[in-house]
A = this chain, B = another copy of it.
């Protein structure tokens, strides 16, 4: 996702490179700041928060509230064109999966008809445990 009529600053370029590097994994504002520090690049936290907020408004990244101490979580989804699919996000490994499924249409209709709620696929994310992490868990019987 390119920024529209904005100046192309170093900070913005680096931020976009960071986003591409995430591979869809979630990150926090702190992660961005650390990334810049580690690469000896300079950016102010004000800028990070402002750019992130803009990108959320644009739809290039998503914002979640999962944990406490670490603040808000962001996730890069820019470049995706599929308008109608849901996301499955693994709480363990952080991977993001696409849900291509017809069942969910029925479920959507059920919710719409019986619960009078129109679900928004863009913002809705199913959290849970993916196959790989689920197997790892069963194997070790951890937690």
Tell me, rounded to whole Å, the shortest Cβ–Cβ distance linking A40 to chain B: 31
Q: Which of chain B's residues have a CB closer than 8 A to the CB of A72?
A: 68
Tell me, rounded to whole Å, the shortest Cβ–Cβ distance linking A35 to chain B: 22
Contact with B along A83-127 (1 / 0, CB 8 A): 000001011000001010101100100110011111110011111
Majority secondary structure, A binding face: mixed
Roughly how many angstroms separate A63 CA and B85 CA in the complex, as a whole number? 23
**Which of A6-14, A18-26, A129-137 has 4 or more CB atoms under 8 Å from chain B?**
A129-137
Chain A interface size, under 10 / 10 to 19 / 20 to 34 / 35 or more: 20 to 34
Tell me, rounded to whole Å, the shortest Cβ–Cβ distance linking A73 to chain B: 9
Q: Which of chain B's residues have a CB closer than 8 A to the CB of A111?
A: 88, 99, 101, 103, 126
Contact check, B101 vs A104: say whether CB atoms are below 8 A apart.
no
